[in-house]
């Protein structure tokens, strides 16, 4: 598995290609900025390795405690943290929920202590309008986050596959279940051939 420094280099070296391809595809500088920013954030601070004490985790500084429940809930390199789309979606939902709880507490404190005439309907309405109005921008940011996370997961998979191939050859690239099934099948065939052989003479 590549080191944290290698992951950082992959993210930084890939950034010009991601930005260039996005600009060529969308012809929009705003979308390109969102995708590139999401890619950087996803590769350096919001990637799959937030489930362990990693560089990504350490970069959150004083807010690292925010990810401790996330780490305790997930096994490292599980599908929920390293899986395509599901990993990024789960982290977005987790962070959004945490921020939502914080804003909820702040909202209650401000309404109780200050003379603010906000209501839950006002907050919910403005949030819904923002999501509806800027759904394209949110989607572009999510794509960037997912690309950053996938660059991390793919480099993990590639490094592990390379090590397996060095030890086992081409068979190291096959899923272990298929190798075991082939071995079991070959043994059964050999046993059957021995049992069906007719005695000579």
pLDDT tens per residue across all 201 residues of the chain: 567 688 889 999 999 999 999 999 999 999 999 999 999 999 999 999 999 999 999 999 999 999 999 999 998 888 899 889 999 999 999 999 999 899 888 878 877 777 666 676 777 777 788 888 889 999 999 999 999 999 888 877 766 655 666 677 666 556 654 444 444 455 554 555 555 555 544
In the chain, the number of structural domains is: 1
Provide the terminal-to-terminal Cα distance of the chain, rounded to the nearest Å.
Answer: 60
pTM of the model: 0.74
CB 88 within 8 A of CB 142: yes
Which pLDDT score, from 0 to 100, does residue 197 have? Answer: 53
**Measured distance CA(201)–CA(199) in Å, rounded:** 7
**What does the DSSP 8-state code read for residue 60?**
T
Nearest-5° Cα angle at 51, 48 to 55: 75
In a domain, 189, yes or no: no
Q: Residue 46's domain spans which residues?
A: 4-172
- Identify whether the C-beta of residue 151 lies closer than 8 Å to the C-beta of residue 10: yes
Residues 6+ apart with CB under 8 A from 53: 71
Residue 148 resides in a domain: yes
Distance CA 67, CA 95 (A): 9
For position 131, what pLDDT does the model report? 81
Predicted local confidence at residue 136, as pLDDT: 92
Residue 168, in any domain of the structure? yes
Residue 139 lies in a domain: yes
Task: Determine which helix (DSSP H) or strand (DSSP E) holds 162, and give its type and residue range.
Answer: helix 135-168
Residue 191: inside a domain: no
47 occurs within a structural domain:
yes
- In this structure, is residue 186 part of a structural domain? no
Any domain includes 80: yes
List of residues 6+ apart from 79 with CB closer than 8 A: 86, 87
């Amino acid at each position: 598995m590549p080191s944290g420094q290698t992951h950082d280099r992959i993210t930084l070296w890939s950034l010009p290609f991601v930005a260039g391809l996005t600009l060529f595809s969308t012809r929009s500088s705003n979308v390109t900025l969102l995708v590139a920013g999401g890619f950087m954030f996803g590769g350096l601070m919001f990637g799959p390795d937030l489930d362990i004490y990693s560089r990504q985790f350490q970069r959150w500084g004083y807010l690292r405690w925010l990810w401790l429940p996330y780490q305790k809930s997930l096994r490292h390199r599980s599908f929920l943290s390293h899986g395509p789309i599901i990993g990024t979606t789960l982290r977005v939902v987790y962070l959004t929920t945490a921020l939502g709880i914080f804003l909820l507490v702040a909202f209650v404190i401000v309404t109780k202590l200050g003379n603010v005439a906000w209501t839950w309907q006002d907050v919910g309405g403005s949030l819904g309008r923002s999501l509806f109005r800027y759904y394209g921008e949110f989607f572009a940011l999510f794509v960037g986050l997912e690309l950053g996370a996938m660059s991390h997961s793919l480099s993990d998979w590639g490094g592990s596959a390379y090590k397996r191939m060095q030890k086992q050859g081409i068979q190291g690239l096959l899923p272990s279940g298929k190798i075991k099934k082939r071995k079991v099948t070959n043994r059964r065939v050999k046993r059957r051939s021995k049992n069906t052989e007719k005695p000579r003479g």
